[in-house]
Each structure stands twice: as structure tokens, then as C-alpha cells.
């Protein structure tokens, strides 16, 4: 009988993966599922492209398997994410919201590498296969999506303050398993919707949850201000992407968000003239 792998020190956790200390300079991002290798490969591809464009992200250092789970070795970062810092320093919400927006705009200028999924096709597949979208809205959402541009930039897919680590050398963007090739306006729309209606990560403290709910509007305004100070956003295109991204968020089936998202979808469809 094979011996069990030695235990590792856990540094953090999300819905799809856990992060452990591997050595002093390296962290291990370990998928929660045995079939998680493709998402780790997507992340490594996106990180390499971002680094080549001068974006500060952790360096990928290869793949391993631990306890039967696939893992990605990454440069180990010394710092805290912006959401955790705001829990202790809530007066920095405007500063960090603007920083989040500026960093996202810079990332949106990065050419997408070969091998990533195309955003519009991925969204259409997820929406078409889901029963989470109201029947009356379904064809209208798909019609809006089909008229939107493909885009060829690196889109993060889950960009928010919890995925930015503040180190002594500056902010570093993390967590790219959902990276795709697409229109940066779609990525902007998703982040805005996450800040407006998204549930916080499961390991957020009760106090952190209170702060997020209280500071949501201010963070969202700061994010939009920071993004638009660094990159233009076409209002009409953004309104159409908002319809699609809200619908896609419904397919992710976060129960606590559903009522809010349905209301948002109804308003977004009217605003887009759909």
C-alpha cells in the first residue's frame, strides 16, 4: 500500500482549488477535483502571456500531482489580497477600488495567447445548455450575444479585489483558471456585476462580509472610475455585454444571488433595447 503524501501548509482556498506552501519560494495550487488539469493548464498559459506583456502575475513553475489531485506550482507571494486588507482598513476601499479598475484595464490590453477558449463561444455554450435563465429572456439574451464582437484580448474571467495580492513590490494579479480570449468590455462587465451583486468568497470572515455589503456601491464606483481613467469603455457595447454576463452568472447557480440577478437581467434587457 502506497504511503500517503505528507501534509502541506494551506495558505488559502477557493471554490475550485486550494493553495499550499511547497517551499519558501513556491506555492502549490491544488485542484479540488481529479479532473482539474485543464483549468490549471489554462491558468499557466494565461500567466505566461500576462508576464510577457509586463503584467505583474505569479510565475508558473510546472505541474505536479499530490494525493491524486493535479496541481500547478507558482511563484509564492508574500502579501494579502485587497479584500482582506479592506476588512482591517475599510477607509482604503476607494483607493483599492480604483487600483482594481486600473489594473484590470491594463490587463485588458494584453493579447490573448493561442490555446485559450473564445469568450463568446464559451458564454453561448453555457447559456444555451442552462435552465437557469427565464424562458422569456432566453432568446433575447442569445440575440444580444450573437451581435457582440469576439475580441482577442486576455480576459481574466473572475477579476475582483480578492484576486489582487498587495506585496512589498506592488500589486500582483492571481487566479487565472477562467481566462479566455475575448472583448475586455465583457470582462469589465463581469467584474462590475460581481462587485454589485456577487457573494463574497466562502472563507471571508463575518466582518468582511459586513464590510463588502456596506461598501459595495463605493467599491463599484471606484472600480469604474479607475478603469475608465486607464481605458475607454463604449457605453452601448457595455450595456449589451451586461445582459449576457448577468445571464451567464445565473448559470453559475449561486442561490444567494438569484433574485438580485433576475431583477438586474430585466433592467439590463430594457437598457440594451433587447
Host domain of residue 170: 79-271
Burial of 270 (0-12, 13-18, 19+ CB in 10 A): exposed
- Looking at the structure, tell me whether residues 122 and 257 fall in a common domain: yes
Quote the radius of gyration of the chain (alpha carbons, Å).
Answer: 19
- Looking at the structure, tell me whether residues 142 and 45 fall in a common domain: no
Whether residue 152 has pLDDT greater than 90: yes
- Looking at the structure, tell me whether residues 43 and 119 fall in a common domain: no
The pLDDT of residue 1: 44
The pLDDT of residue 200: 63
Tell me if 75 sits within 8 A of 59, measured CB to CB: yes
- Looking at the structure, tell me whether residues 42 and 139 fall in a common domain: no
Q: Is residue 4 part of a domain?
A: no
Query: 197: which residues sit within 8 A by CB, 6+ positions away?
Result: 249, 257, 260, 261, 264
Q: Rounded to the nearest 10 degrees, how much is the dihedral formed by the CA atoms of 221, 161, 87, 79?
A: -140
| Percent of the chain residues past pLDDT 70, beyond the cut | 93
- Looking at the structure, tell me whether residues 91 and 15 fall in a common domain: no
The pLDDT of residue 254: 87
For residue range 89-104, what is the model confidence (pLDDT) as tens digits? 989 999 999 999 999 9
Burial of 118 (0-12, 13-18, 19+ CB in 10 A): middle
Q: Is residue 242 part of a domain?
A: yes
The pLDDT of residue 206: 73
- Give the count of domains, the chain: 2
In 104-201, DSSP assigns E strands to 153-155, 164-167, 170-173, 180-182
> Under DSSP, is residue 29 helix (H, G, I), strand (E, B) or coil?
strand
The CATH number given to whatever domain includes residue 28 is: 3.30.200.20
Mean pLDDT across the chain, nearest whole number? 92
Q: Is residue 26 part of a domain?
A: yes
Listed residue (170, 180, 213, 185) closest to 83, CA to CA: 213
The CATH number given to whatever domain includes residue 265 is: 3.90.1200.10
- Looking at the structure, tell me whether residues 86 and 41 fall in a common domain: no
Q: Is residue 194 part of a domain?
A: yes
Mean pLDDT of 150-159: 96
Q: Which of 42, 75, 108 is the last residue of a domain?
A: 75
Whether residue 209 has pLDDT greater than 60: yes
Max distance between CA atoms of the chain, in angstroms, equals 64
Q: Is residue 253 part of a domain?
A: yes
- Looking at the structure, tell me whether residues 21 and 116 fall in a common domain: no
* Least confident residue range of 4-13, 129-138, 174-183: 4-13
- Looking at the structure, tell me whether residues 190 and 205 fall in a common domain: yes
- Looking at the structure, tell me whether residues 49 and 131 fall in a common domain: no
- Looking at the structure, tell me whether residues 44 and 132 fall in a common domain: no
Q: Is residue 3 part of a domain?
A: no
- Looking at the structure, tell me whether residues 92 and 199 fall in a common domain: yes
* Residue 190 parent element (H or E): helix 184-197
The pLDDT of residue 204: 64
For residues 137 and 262, give the distance between their C-alpha atoms in angstroms, rounded to a whole number.
Answer: 10
Q: Which of 75, 100, 128 is the last residue of a domain?
A: 75
Q: Rounded to the nearest 10 degrees, how much is the dihedral formed by the CA atoms of 215, 225, 182, 133?
A: 40
- Looking at the structure, tell me whether residues 143 and 41 fall in a common domain: no
Amino acid at each position: 500500500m502506497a504511503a500517503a503524501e505528507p501534509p502541506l501548509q494551506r495558505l488559502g482556498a477557493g471554490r475550485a482549488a486550494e493553495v499550499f506552501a511547497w517551499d519558501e519560494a513556491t506555492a502549490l495550487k491544488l485542484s479540488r477535483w481529479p479532473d482539474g488539469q485543464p483549468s490549471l493548464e489554462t491558468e499557466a498559459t494565461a500567466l505566461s502571456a500576462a508576464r510577457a506583456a509586463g503584467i505583474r502575475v505569479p510565475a508558473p513553475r510546472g505541474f505536479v500531482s499530490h494525493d491524486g489531485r493535479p496541481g500547478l506550482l507558482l511563484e509564492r507571494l508574500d502579501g494579502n489580497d485587497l479584500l482582506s486588507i479592506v476588512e482591517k482598513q475599510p477607509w482604503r476601499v476607494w483607493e483599492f477600488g480604483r487600483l482594481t479598475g486600473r489594473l484590470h484595464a491594463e490587463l485588458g490590453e494584453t493579447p490573448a495567447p493561442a490555446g485559450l477558449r473564445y469568450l463568446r463561444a464559451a458564454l453561448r455554450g453555457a447559456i444555451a445548455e442552462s435552465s437557469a435563465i427565464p424562458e422569456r429572456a432566453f432568446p433575447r439574451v442569445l440575440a444580444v450575444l450573437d451581435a457582440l464582437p469576439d475580441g482577442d484580448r486576455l480576459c481574466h474571467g473572475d477579476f475582483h479585489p480578492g484576486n489582487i495580492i498587495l506585496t512589498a513590490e506592488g500589486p500582483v494579479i492571481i487566479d487565472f483558471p477562467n481566462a479566455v480570449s475575448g472583448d475586455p468590455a465583457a470582462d469589465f462587465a463581469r467584474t462590475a456585476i460581481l462587485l454589485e451583486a456577487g457573494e463574497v468568497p466562502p472563507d471571508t470572515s463575518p466582518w468582511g462580509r459586513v464590510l463588502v455589503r456596506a461598501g459595495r456601491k463605493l467599491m463599484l464606483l471606484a472600480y469604474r472610475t479607475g478603469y475608465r481613467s486607464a481605458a475607454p469603455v463604449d457605453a452601448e457595447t457595455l450595456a449589451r455585454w451586461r445582459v449576457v454576463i448577468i445571464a451567464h452568472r445565473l448559470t453559475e447557480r449561486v442561490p444567494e444571488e438569484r433574485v438580485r440577478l433576475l431583477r438586474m437581467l430585466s433592467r439590463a434587457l430594457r437598457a440594451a433595447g433587447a
